[in-house]
Amino acid sequence: MAHSSQEHGMLSSRSIAVRFAKAAAITVCVSAPAKASTKDQADNAVPVTCCLPQWAAEVTGSIVKIAALQSSQMPLSGPAVNATVGAAMSESPSESVKPIFRRQIPNLPDRELIAVLVNYPPAARSRSHHHASSAFIYAYVLSGEIRSAVGDEPARIYRAGESFYEEPGAHHVVSENASDSEPASLLAVFVVRAGDQPLTAPDAESGK
């Protein structure tokens, strides 16, 4: 269900922190050779501690800064990781991408978890792209409506509270705001081999 522009900016810090914690837990549970059952992984109410007992609480606490970031439309800037996560855009308007979390995964020493916040102004879209070859991505729609298609699947609209994922090596063909009048945002959580760069590689202008 779409939300008004005011509601987009009013998502509470606690609400977004809990959403991120769930996304992180689900992503690492799916990607890691963890002991959690399939039922636990599929349960939307799965506690964040299911696979990450040592650092889930720290993730939840530190990620409250997403609230401030989500209400801002500042352009991509900051650490070097910023340059690797934003898909180049072939049309205007375009999305903005903000890295908000990065950490090595304790039980997967060669992998790290990276989270980015993607904001789409009305009618904005990303160029079709691939991600790092080792990257498994879990995307959670925070607000508005996102139209997405991965590989040969038909395009589908995902609304706030819904999610999708990308397997390593997938081609993200469509990623755009489904609305011409309301903004939208999503949280993308990467589980990726340390040093596997760039995180996002847009197709050439003549594209696939």
pLDDT of residue 15: 59
pLDDT of residue 16: 55
Contact 133, 53 (CB under 8 A): no
- Rounded to whole angstroms, the Cα distance separating 74 from 57 reads 28
User: Buried b / exposed e across 22-55, counting CB within 10 Å, b at 16+?
Assistant: bbbbbbbbbbbebebeeebbeeeebebebbbeeb
pLDDT of residue 87: 40
Contact 177, 20 (CB under 8 A): no
Specify the DSSP class assigned to residue 125.
B
Residues of the chain with pLDDT under 50: 1-10, 13, 30, 32-57, 59-91, 206-208
pLDDT of residue 44: 43
Q: Is the pTM of this model over 0.85?
A: no
> Scanning the structure block, which residue is given the tokens 């590989």?
151
Q: What angle do CA 40, 45, 46 make, to 5 degrees?
A: 35
pLDDT of residue 23: 58
pLDDT of residue 93: 81
